Amino acid sequence: MLKDCGSFDSGSNPDLGLTTIPPIKVYDFNGVFHMTIEKDLGYSFSDKDLLDRALTRKAHALEAKQQNRDCEDQEIYRTLGDAILKAVLVDLLIKSGCKTRDEITSEKIRLEREEGLAKIAQDIGIGPFIKLGAGEKKHRANEEPKVLAETLEALIGAIYLDGGYDAAKKVITRWFKSFFT
């Protein structure tokens, strides 16, 4: 079941004779939204809640909770995604011919820099799908390299939880293909 992270209640005003209008979904989680982002990512989620959470920034989740809606943010997925990304990159670097620990470490650090991850996220087009808090929306945080890089890591964590290491490795390998050819 999807969390109620992306809706708002228009409410009612009995003094004006208005009836309660049901909550309106900001994101279409039953169709086009998921199909579009999954196509862009190159991965189809079995559990759409994982994708939803990976795209939800902490500020958005806190605002939803203030409105008594159940909503979890991407933070723990970012931590998991960072670890999975490191493991996959080390694997790819070894297979690409890196021979020493120092060589692997320096190349891994280069590949996982914020600006590189943000570029991949921009190329995939995840920015418009990131669920931001009100202040983040005003500042167009979904265009900021840090937010894009963090969300990419959260998506990696969600892919790992949904499909396992091999699924995450396949997606990461595709995203980093240009670095290894």
> Has this prediction a pTM greater than 0.85?
no
> Tell me: the pLDDT tens digits for 85-133?
999 999 999 999 999 999 999 999 999 999 999 999 999 999 999 999 9
Closest C-alpha among 151, 82, 181 to residue 90: 82
- Structure confidence at residue 157 (pLDDT): 98
Alpha-carbon distances, residue 130 vs 5, 66, 75, 78 (angstroms): 12, 19, 13, 14
d(CA 62, CA 51): 18
Domain 45-179: what homologous superfamily?
A: Ribonuclease III domain (1.10.1520.10)
| CA distance linking residue 33 with residue 23, whole number of Å | 18
Hey, is 85 helix, strand or coil?
helix
pLDDT in tens, 128-155: 999 999 999 999 999 999 999 999 999 9
Widest pairwise Cα distance in the chain: 75
**pLDDT tens-digit profile of 5-54?**
654 333 333 343 433 333 323 344 445 567 789 998 999 999 999 999 99
CA distance 96 to 90: 10
Give residue 58's pLDDT band: very low, low, confident or very high (50, 70, 90): very high
Query: Given 3-state DSSP classes, what are the helix, strand and coil percentages for the chain, each rounded to the nearest 5?
Result: 65, 5, 35
Name the residues annotated as catalytic.
82, 153
Compute the distance between CA of residue 58 and CA of residue 133 in angstroms, rounded to an integer: 8
Amino acid at 140: R
